[in-house]
């Protein structure tokens, strides 16, 4: 059920703006991985822009929605169910882990290590992270909607843990994210051998990291 709510919540994101932010780092013939592709909005944008891209996600429900989304737009892409905490079998020119994918992991070292080894030489990893100060403002946040689907979404913040509770039709999903200081992630990237840049991006609540192997 959460996958359907997530898809609705992500429907109003300006993906053209996100793509324009990413475009300077995407070469025409890059093999791109949308890591943690969710319900496929960014992947669709990439495919429609004629990029060679695949999507991976841990959730089979998310991938099913992504597959239908691509199909409904007359395009297709390879989709794989995979846990980013485990090594990846392919190598990519660029890996994107957008929309706070890395924040879903309690400890990012193994995930970032796997992404490093899944990049070709000179490959680029781009991801975003929530700013800790920004997340504090969401403590006890609540959102209720009835159209097109009735749900209640609440957030409790006790850093580093950010707990999301989503209730739909009396079914409750609990999703946890982990927001550590920026230096925690930068230290891991530097230890792996990445060269990193921190950028401002479309969402002011987030850090945007460009890491080159």
CATH number at residue 37: 3.40.50.150
Give the total number of structural domains in the chain: 2
Supply the DSSP string of 147-169, one letter for each residue. Answer: SSS-EEEEEEEETTEEEEEEEET
Q: Which domain holds residue 113?
A: 2-130+181-212
Same domain flag for 63 and 50 = yes
Point out which residues pair with 106 in neighbouring strands: none
Same domain flag for 36 and 109 = yes
Same domain flag for 106 and 170 = no
Same domain flag for 171 and 109 = no
The pLDDT of residue 163: 97
The separation between CA 103 and the C-alpha centre of its own chain, rounded to angstroms, equals 9
Instruction: For the chain of 213 residues, list the mean pLDDT of each consecutive stretch of 10.
Output: 83 94 96 97 97 97 97 97 95 98 97 98 97 94 86 95 92 95 98 97 97 98
Same domain flag for 139 and 66 = no
The pLDDT of residue 1: 65
The pLDDT of residue 38: 96
Same domain flag for 70 and 138 = no
Same domain flag for 154 and 199 = no
Residue 111's alpha-carbon distances to 66, 128, 167, in angstroms, are 23, 14, 29
Report the C-alpha gap between 38 and 52 in whole angstroms: 18
Same domain flag for 94 and 149 = no
Same domain flag for 103 and 171 = no
Point out which residues pair with 119 in neighbouring strands: 92
Point out which residues pair with 144 in neighbouring strands: 152
Same domain flag for 68 and 147 = no
Nearest to 39 by CA among 8, 13, 74: 8
């Amino acid at each position: 059920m959460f996958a359907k709510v997530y898809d609705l919540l992500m429907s109003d994101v300006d993906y053209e703006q996100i793509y324009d932010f990413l475009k300077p780092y995407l070469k025409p013939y890059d093999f791109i991985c949308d890591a943690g592709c969710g319900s496929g909005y960014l992947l669709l944008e990439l495919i429609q822009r004629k990029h060679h891209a695949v999507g991976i996600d841990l959730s089979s429900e998310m991938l099913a929605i992504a597959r239908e989304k691509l199909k409904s737009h007359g395009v297709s892409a390879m989709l794989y169910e995979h846990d980013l905490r485990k090594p990846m079998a392919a190598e990519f020119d660029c890996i994107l882990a957008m929309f706070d994918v890395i924040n879903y992991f309690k400890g990012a070292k193994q995930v970032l290590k796997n992404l490093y080894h899944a990049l070709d030489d000179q490959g680029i990893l781009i991801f975003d992270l929530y700013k800790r100060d920004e997340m504090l403002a969401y403590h006890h946040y609540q959102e209720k909607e009835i159209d097109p689907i009735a749900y209640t979404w609440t957030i409790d913040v006790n850093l580093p843990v950010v707990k999301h509770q989503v209730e739909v039709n009396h079914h409750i999903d609990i999703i946890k994210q982990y927001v550590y200081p920026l230096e925690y992630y930068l230290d891991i990237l530097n230890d792996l051998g990445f060269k990193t840049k921190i950028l401002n991006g479309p969402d002011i609540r987030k850090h945007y990291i460009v890491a080159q192997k």
